[in-house]
Amino acid sequence: MVPALWLGYNFVVYGNPLEFANGPYSAKAIEHNSILAGSPPHPGTHKLRVAFRYFFKSAELNLAKGNWQKFWAASLILGTAIVVMFQRRLWPLLFLWVPLPFYMYSIAYGGVPLFVPGWLPFSHYNVRYGLEMLPAFAVFTAVAAYGLIRFVASTRSKLVIAVLFLVVPAGSYFQVWRKAPVTFEEAVTNSRSRIALETAIAARLEMLPSNSTFLMYLGDHVGAVQQAGISLSRVINEGNHRPWERPSDPDGLWERALKHPATYANYVIALNSDPVASSVNKSELASLVIARATGQPEATIYRTLKSNQAR
């Protein structure tokens, strides 16, 4: 029922049941716009084999560093083989592999980028997706250990296998903990300039009247209003489309505010090339201040012209 309700919700609110997949704010549309702006397609675009490599590497990186990854990969394959060939009553466990084809297809054909350090473009982006394979690694590693213990005859061999499957995972987890998990590295690496810009925007928003209303695209820098202590109920954003109870309404609050910002908001925050900067009616705006941070787009804060505001 959940997918049916989700598709139905998208149809009522956006008029498109697949809005999340091919709408203007979907991953595919965002990448299409970045390509038009001159950025190259992400690795794995229309290449399932490359998409597999990047996703599986992100899964390995979330488990271990360097050669420790080989243990986890070997255990995953061995455990899966044991289920397929010798323990077929455990076949439901194979559903734990579902994230692999799902993310392969998303990377190859859904416009979803995934970058891992050490491979082009030598960055961190969406490496957290690899966490979806953690249940598979955990379960099939246990199955592999169980299968090997059942295969050998001597008690000593059984003990060696048991110790091996306890010590190696513990060692790999200690290594990750010591060097910081790759998903945490991504957060730290990608947040430095982002936080600097959001802090600069927040400092200026805090100077504005406390009862002000705003128009802002929140997909990239929602942290700015969070830092400023502004409730999202006072921010018209891309999530404010037509209400589900009024499907006949051709436009939502977001669309109407972009056309006539002075009618709905006191201030507008626009970042270079975001939906507000590219679509808002600037004839109703007066620029107040520009916030800048290295490596981030400029953020312009506008005051709406009072002569255009509705009573």
Any domain includes 66: yes
Round to whole Å and give the CA distance between 261 and 157. 73
Round to whole Å and give the CA distance between 213 and 233. 9
Round to whole Å and give the CA distance between 104 and 164. 32
Question: In which domain, by residue range, is 162 found?
Answer: 40-179
Confidence of residue 311 (pLDDT cuts 50, 70, 90): very low
Encode pLDDT of 86-106 as tens digits: 999 999 999 999 999 999 999
Residues 167 and 51 in one domain: yes
More reliable by pLDDT, 306 or 101: 101
Give the count of beta carbons closer than 10 Å to the beta carbon of residue 250.
Answer: 9
Residue 242 has pLDDT above 70, yes or no: no
3-state helix, strand, coil in the chain (%, to 5): 60, 10, 30
pLDDT of residue 249: 60
Any domain includes 12: no
Residues 54 and 165 in one domain: yes
Round to whole Å and give the CA distance between 176 and 45. 30
- Cα 33 to Cα 24, 122, 243, 274: the distances in Å are 10, 22, 27, 10
Domain boundary among 153, 179, 205: 179
Domain boundary among 160, 179, 198: 179
**Domains held by the chain: number:** 2
Domain boundary among 155, 179, 203: 179
The answer to whether 127 and 182 are in contact (CB under 8 A) is: yes
Structure tokens that stand for 114 in this block? 């995934």
Residues 87 and 140 in one domain: yes
Helix (H, G, I), strand (E, B) or coil at 125: strand
Any domain includes 25: no
Confidence of residue 218 (pLDDT cuts 50, 70, 90): very high
Any domain includes 33: no
Confidence of residue 310 (pLDDT cuts 50, 70, 90): very low
Residue 181: phi and psi, rounded to 5, are -60, 150
* Sign, Cα dihedral of 33, 303, 222, 263: negative
Any domain includes 20: no
Structure tokens that stand for 248 in this block? 């006949």
Residue 24 has pLDDT above 90, yes or no: no
Residues 97 and 127 in one domain: yes
Residues 202 and 92 in one domain: no
Residue 33 has pLDDT above 90, yes or no: no
More reliable by pLDDT, 82 or 249: 82
Residue 50 has pLDDT above 50, yes or no: yes
Residues 174 and 194 in one domain: no
pLDDT of residue 189: 85
**78, amino acid identity:** L
Residue 309 has pLDDT above 90, yes or no: no
Encode pLDDT of 280-304 as tens digits: 999 999 999 999 998 888 999 999 9
Confidence of residue 36 (pLDDT cuts 50, 70, 90): confident
Q: What is the pTM of this model?
A: 0.78
Q: To the nearest whole number, what is the mean pLDDT of the chain?
A: 90
* Sign, Cα dihedral of 199, 121, 38, 106: negative
Share of the chain above pLDDT 90, in %: 67
Residues 207 and 130 in one domain: no
